Chains A and B, each alone.
Chain A
Amino acid sequence: GDSVTQMEGPVTLSEEAFLTINCTYTATGYPSLFWYVQYPGEGLQLLLKATKADDKGSNKGFEATYRKETTSFHLEKGSVQVSDSAVYFCALSSNTGNQFYFGTGTSLTVIP
């Protein structure tokens, strides 16, 4: 069945460092892909999404490109800030849109 595999954390970076969080997926057909973020004490929020191959989602300096050939949707940011400290979840929505699959989450801590 459909699934998402996300790099394990926790990840600790210094401020202004480059961030990559890997995400690969298994799905039949053409799913939509998402990154959600959960800040401490808050609910999950959509960070960015891509609905077809080669689409690039971007928001708040974060980017991810839907790569069908490598079945990947890696999250990147060129220069992280302390305020980016959170847990990041990769997610997939199946063709029908009725099933939503989340990865296990990657905890990011950015130190000044």
Chain B
Amino acid sequence: EAGVAQSPRYKIIEKRQSVAFWCNPISGHATLYWYQQILGQGPKLLIQFQNNGVVDDSQLPKDRFSAERLKGVDSTLKIQPAKLEDSAVYLCASSLASGPRYEQYFGPGTRLTVT
């Protein structure tokens, strides 16, 4: 079974530029999560999708971050414009359904450096 795929693996941009990350969840997984992991910290949930609808985006900085999951499969996370403090690893995870009974499977992450 293929795991969660993410691209790119690494990205370096200058502040005020825009960037997009892509995630392909495990086939059949209805729930998709985006996390931000700043160096030395644990992952922080940014947004959760159930199929193509948003379940929770309370911690997403909506003035610069956006995410979509068209057709309820792949998802993209965009930052526009980027700030220095956005430097982090962006993790995508998926699960069969929402709730603690369902294991989250994580992708390898995209490491973003903003200079």
Contacts and interface: CB of A to CB of B under 8 A. Distances in A.
A93 B100 contact: yes
Interface residues of A, number: 25
A62 interface: no
A83 interface: no
A45 B33 contact: no
A70 interface: no
Interface string A95-112: 001111111110000000
Interface residues of B, number: 24
B61 interface: no
Given A43-B107, A93-B100, A98 B56 contact: yes
Interface in B60-110: 91, 93, 98-101, 103-104, 106-109
**Secondary structure dominating the interface of B:** loop
Contacts of A46: 103-104
**Secondary structure dominating the interface of A:** strand
A20 interface: no
A43 B103 contact: no
A3 to B, nearest CB: 10
B42 A98 contact: no
Contact of A100 (B4, B45, B107, B109): B45
A31 B100 CA distance: 9
A102 B107 contact: no
Interface of B: 3-4, 33, 40-45, 48, 55-56, 91, 93, 98-101, 103-104, 106-109
Ranked nearest first, the 10 interchain pairs of A and B with the lowest CB-CB distance are: A102-B42, A32-B100, A97-B99, A93-B100, A43-B106, A44-B106, A43-B108, A102-B43, A98-B56, A97-B100
